[in-house]
Amino acid sequence: MSWAPNDLARELLAQSLIAWRVAGSVERASDGALVIGGIRKDIRIDRAQPHLMFRWMVTVDGRKRGAVSLVAVLRQVREALDPGYAANRVRIAVAPLVPSQ
C-alpha cells in the first residue's frame, strides 16, 4: 500500500493549519489515519471503505462524517476549528441558463 496520497493530504492539512493561524500538528497514526493534535478538538481523518461513496471519513469529537474530496475534508476541519467560519456552499439546481420571458 502506498502512503503517498496520505502524505500529500497530511502536508496539505499541516499547511492549512498554518494558513488558518491554528496551532496544531498533523500526524499519521499507525493504521494510516491522519490525526490533528495540539488543538481542543479530537480530529481524525481516515480513508473511506471502497464500498462507500465517500473518499474520506472525518471524525470530530466522535462524530463521523463522510467527505467526497480533500476540499470537503478541509471544510469540515475548518468548521470544527473555527465555529465562526462562514463556509460558502454551492447549490446546484436544474434550471435554464436564461429565464424565459
Averaged pLDDT for residues 85-98: 67
Q: Give the whole-angstrom CA distance, residue 78 versus residue 31.
A: 24
Torsion of CA 6, 11, 15, 18, to 10 degrees: 90
Residue 54 belongs to some domain of the structure: yes
In a domain, 88, yes or no: no
- Using alpha carbons only, give the angle 4, 60, 39 rounded to the nearest 5 degrees: 85
Q: How many domains does the chain fold into? A: 1
Instruction: Give the mean pLDDT of the chain.
Output: 85
pLDDT, one tens digit per residue, over 50-67 is 888 889 999 999 999 999
Residue % of the chain over a pLDDT of 90: 50
- Position 91 in a domain: no
Q: By mean pLDDT, which of 28-37, 41-50, 55-64, 92-101 is the weakest?
A: 92-101
Residue 48: which domain range? 4-81
